Chain A
Amino acid sequence: MSGSGYLELNGIASRYGATQVLKDINLSIRAGEFVALLGSSGCGKTTLLRTLAGFNAPSSGSVHIGARDITHLPPDKRGMALVFQSYALWPHMTVDENIAYGLKLKGVPRADIAAKVSAMQSLLGLQGLGGRKPQALSGGQRQRVALGRALVIDPEILLLDEPLSNLDARIRLTVRHELRALQQRLGITAIHVTHDREEAMVMADRIVILDAGRIAQQGRPEEVYNRPASPFVAAFMGAENLLKLDGFVVGDRFVLSPGAVHAAGGVPLDGRSLASGAVEARFRPEAARILATLDTATPEDGMTFRGEVLAVTYPGGHWRHVVRTGAHEILADAPRACQPGERVAVHVGADALFLFNLAEPASASSLPASRA
């Protein structure tokens, strides 16, 4: 991946004292690309962003923009602007002063500052708010001021550290699209840190999933969603249902052996590097289909489990069932509600069934069939 991009991270490692936070991060980002760094708390995503911004020095590795080595440059010499999670607006300055501060530091003439600040306020819909202090703004307005302050200095790269996490849910949905549209309009390279899977999916050109300081997988949103490369990525992308199965490779198929609560099944290998033996099967509740147990005409591909409905809830749009199958409990969605105690069959199609070998987790990379 490395070597052809605009922003290049080569072998970045970082540590806090004895704790290794980032390990051998290699990432190549194209000019104008919107990349989301996605991961759970403590995975190193913010450390990686701060390393890019120049607030953390990497313990090894290098960062390049084009041919320029910026690894040890101070934050303001990197051509990057950072939007902080807390927005970090200065409470003693007005909106105008907050946005203008970066230009003032660069010694831009006062008339030019006024023009640029005004243009930025028009771009972000902040007209008429220039004289207000940050305390007198709503969360969404503060977020836009923080964005304006970063963008007005015309950075090459925009760094976003969970900038939407302090907004309430409704505004967040709107701001996601606004931010993405703005990035596309300006053609600016953006790196966005988030722990919100959906946010990363709808905003980014490419998602980089971090796990314990390493890149677990990177790719287009539909790739990481439909072809998770590891159990961690599958679980992080919502495939929380977990079952242990056995199977074996026959030609270009992986055949799943029948068990106490499930019939035989199978999936096309289609690039999966599965070996015969025990596997971990993961799938999303919405990928499961609930059938009546007497319905024997189960589809050929995928896997069908028998079980009993324990509980049913309505999270909106569909009914979510807790189904006990053998020793496990799984979640399965259906358009109509089944009653607790009802015997059902749960079918998961081959394309939504993610299989990973149990014995050798390092080589158990498994990709589902053919949808990419």
Chain B
Amino acid sequence: MPRRLLGLLLVMPALAVIALLFILPLVMSAVGAFQLNGGWGLGNFAKAFDLYLNDILFSVGIVSLSTALIGFGAIAIGGYLTLGAHPVAVTILRWLYRWPMFIPFIVVGQILRTFLAKNGMMNNTAISLGLMTPIDAMSFLDWRGIVIAFVWKQTPFVALLVAGAMASVNREGIEAAVNLGASRLRVLVEIIVPQVTATLAVGLILSFVTMMSVLSVPLMINAQSPTMLTADIAFRVNAYGDYGVANALGLISLVLASSVAWIYLRISLKERA
């Protein structure tokens, strides 16, 4: 048997899995987005924008805000792990910060649902400490809850990448700045962060795409309007069996995710160049 054919045969199972389980469903659903009763057209998109424009904007807003907060959180954690002067605090943080990564989104949703509700643990604790009265208690189970859940779950992942990159920044470069009189904050902002921007960007982009695809958190925390696109897709399919609009919404999500994935590709191409 020719070697080339043997190589192709070896690769076939993997290719088949990708083609059947990934590419085919993607193409089917992309095609389905343009399929109308008895023809082709942009009707599903028109309906999707008509019904769910607010949710599209809401999703982009929530995920963008969460991405920004995750970025700040990851820089703060990575910065403290790199520059922290208190070894015990650094050790505790290093041990603690990764835990949310191992908790599934649906569990995060459940934890925060009980924590952020009007009569949840957060308000009860504040009331029992005398920080506020029961009448002032309010529920965070809205857009704020989703942002908190996303930030809580995704910050450790980005922090892990960023802290690794920061640890490989030349220590002498940090000391050179300290030697010239830079404060720790300036060292972080002016010396360390500019040297880890590629890693930070990659972490944030992967987080952005992940958050765009999470269904459990908006369903558990924010079962109201406006909500996120994933909840709308589930609703179109489950309540109406309306695969056309669901597919159109899916394609819109894909375009949003792809736009940041394009940035990711540009960064990796630049790194390889």
Interfacial residues, chain A to chain B (CB-CB below 8 A): 53-55, 74-76, 80-82, 84-86, 88-92, 101-102, 105-106, 149, 153
Contact = CB atoms under 8 A, between A and B. Distances in A.
Contact of B175 (A84, A91, A149, A153): A84
Binding site secondary structure of chain B: helix
A262 to B, nearest CB: 51
Interface in B35-60: none
A89 B182 CA distance: 15
Contact of A81 (B172, B179, B186): B179
Given A105-B181, A105-B186, A91 B195 contact: yes
A55 B181 contact: no
Interface string B73-116: 00000000000000000000000000000000000000000000
Contacts of B178: 55, 74-76
B179 A89 contact: no
10 contacts: A75-B179, A86-B170, A88-B172, A88-B176, A90-B177, A91-B195, A101-B190, A105-B182, A149-B180, A153-B180
Interface residues of B, number: 16
B176 A106 contact: no
Given A90-B191, A92-B195, A105-B186, A85 B181 contact: no
B194 interface: yes
Contacts of A106: 181
A102 B176 CA distance: 10
Interface of B: 170, 172-173, 175-182, 186, 190-191, 194-195
A147 to B, nearest CB: 12
Given A90-B191, A91-B195, A92-B195, A53 B179 contact: yes
Contacts of B182: 76, 101, 105
Contacts of B191: 90
Contacts of A55: 175, 178-179
B194 A92 contact: yes
A190 to B, nearest CB: 15
Nearest to B191: A90
B195 A76 contact: no
Given A91-B195, A92-B194, A92-B195, A102 B180 contact: yes
A101 B181 CA distance: 10
Nearest to A107: B181
Contacts of A76: 178-182
Given A76-B181, A105-B186, A106-B181, A84 B176 contact: yes
A84 B172 contact: yes
B177 to A, nearest CB: 7
B169 to A, nearest CB: 9
B25 to A, nearest CB: 43
A100 to B, nearest CB: 10
Contacts of B172: 84-86, 88
A325 B181 CA distance: 60
Nearest to A152: B180
B173 A101 contact: no
Nearest to A91: B195
A101 to B, nearest CB: 6
A92 B173 CA distance: 11
B180 A101 contact: yes
A85 B180 CA distance: 16
Contact of B180 (A86, A89, A92, A105): A105
B189 to A, nearest CB: 12
A35 to B, nearest CB: 19
Contact of B177 (A54, A74, A85, A101): A101
A80 B177 CA distance: 13
A101 B178 CA distance: 11
Contacts of A105: 180-182, 186
Contacts of A80: 179
Contacts of A90: 173, 176-177, 191, 194-195
| A85, A91, A101 — most chain B CB neighbours (10 Å) | A101
A89 B172 CA distance: 9
Given A76-B178, A76-B180, A76-B182, 14 more contacts: A54-B179, A55-B175, A82-B175, A82-B176, A84-B172, A88-B170, A88-B173, A88-B175, A88-B176, A89-B173, A90-B173, A91-B195, A101-B177, A102-B180
A102 B181 contact: yes
Contacts of A53: 179
Nearest to B197: A92
B173 A81 contact: no
Contacts of B177: 90, 101
Contacts of B190: 101
Contacts of B175: 55, 75, 82, 84, 88
A106 B179 CA distance: 12
Contacts of A88: 170, 172-173, 175-176
A81 B170 contact: no
Contacts of B176: 82, 84, 88, 90, 149
Contacts of A149: 176, 180
Contacts of B194: 90, 92
Contacts of A84: 172, 175-176
Nearest to A87: B172
| B177, B181, B191 — most chain A CB neighbours (10 Å) | B181
A85 B170 CA distance: 12
Nearest to A54: B179
